[in-house]
Amino acid sequence: MSKPKIIQIGSLGGSPGADNALREHFDVLPLWQAADRDQALRDAADVEVVVTSAMHGCKADVIEKLPNLKLICNWGVGYDSIDIETAAKHGVAVTNTPDVLNDCVADEAWGLIIACARHIPQGDRFVRDNRWENHDGMLPLGTRVSGKKLGIVGLGRIGMAIAKRAQGFDMQIGYHNRNARTDVPYTYMEKLTDLASWSDFLVVATVGGASTRKLISRDVLKALGPTSYIINIARGPVIDEAAMVELLQSGELGGAGLDVFENEPKVPDALKRLENVVLMPHVGSATTETRQAMFDVVMKNLQAYFAGKALLTPVATS
């Protein structure tokens, strides 16, 4: 029996074995390897399914060239790099991988909070460089985390997992969403600047895309102030990155723990030169267990589609 055809926009190399598993079950057109991308898409006019990821996305140019496209399967929860409006216009369903990565992304947010406040990367370098052994100065004092105030921008599934962990640190929790939630005991703040000036640590856990672009503006960062930290595990463009760099340089913002950036994988050199930041290469979901779980969701959606069954995790496209 012939295998169903799919187009893969880019490698799912972040999930070991995923590319092979797709090839085992499907007749895969690896678009990133095509010498002539447009020709490859024209030749694939009968294909109904595209597999992609947050990094590779799926733009209108692909959607519009595939007249039989019915489904875009995203390996990742955030789908801001997929042109949802064009997909909806063409009746194309989109699936993502929610929930399975909440814990690991929340864990990484906490890693960044502690790493920033307690200078973990600097301490590691201090020991490796033999500065401790040589009595060469001291690591600067850190900032207490336990008992402090944690602000969460975007109290969704990942935001809730971050808040749950904060309870173990005896923290007060405030949050900002478009609307207050009625099912949580945390303090809602309608104005983002109010949440920022209240917070010791402000974690960004909101969706990406046009609706949240530069939501964390210069004013919000200034309200956070010189003794507080911004942590971002969501999407780079949610923060006004240029303003953040300036405020970190001038000391008007205390520090930053960043897993995501405006133009990945480019990270501004000015950020790399700063001591009060901890930088990670967009790896919130990057554990063996979670990456496998994400791929399992992709596979289940593909299998459901080709079996004519309901999709597991469809995204609302309109």
Please report, as ranges, the residues that interact with ligand 8YV according to CB under 6 A: 14, 53-55, 75-78, 101, 282, 284-285
Q: Which of 119, 176, 282, 291 is catalytic?
A: 282
Identity of the residue, 14 or 151, whose beta carbon is nearer to ligand 8YV in the bound complex: 14
* DSSP-based three-state secondary structure for 87: helix
Angle between helix 288-306 and helix 18-25 axes, rounded to 10 deg: 20
* CB burial of residue 105 (10 Å; 0-12, 13-18, 19+): buried
Nearer to ligand 8YV, 285 or 301 (CB): 285
Least CB distance to ligand 8YV at residue 295 (A): 11
Q: CB 300 → ligand 8YV: shortest distance, Å?
A: 16
Q: Is 25 a catalytic residue?
A: no
Q: How far apart are CA 291 and CA 282, in angstroms?
A: 13
**Choice between 101 and 150, CB closer to ligand 8YV:** 101
How far apart are CB 53 and ligand 8YV at their closest, in Å?
5
Write the single-letter amino acid at 102: N
We find the least distance from the C-beta atom of residue 74 to ligand 8YV, in angstroms, to be 8
* Catalytic member of 48, 64, 246, 264: 264
Closer of 77 and 277 to ligand 8YV (Cβ): 77
- Smallest distance, ligand 8YV to C-beta of residue 52, A: 10
46/48 Cα distance (integer angstroms): 6
State residue 74 phi and psi, 5-degree precision: -100, 125
Question: Strand locations in the chain, DSSP E?
Answer: 5-8, 27-30, 49-53, 71-75, 93-95, 149-153, 172-176, 187-188, 201-204, 229-232, 255-258, 277-279
- Tell me which of 176, 235, 241, 262 is the catalytic residue: 235
**Known catalytic residue at 241:** no
For the stretch 271-277, contacts whose Cβ atoms lie closer than 8 Å and that sit 24 or more positions apart, written own/partner, are 271/245, 274/245, 274/248, 274/249, 275/122, 276/116, 276/248, 277/116, 277/248
Task: Give the residue at shortest CB distance from ligand 8YV.
Answer: 76
Q: Which of 53, 206 has the CB closer to ligand 8YV?
A: 53
282 as an active site residue: the answer is yes
Report, as residue numbers or ranges, the catalytic residues.
Answer: 235, 264, 282
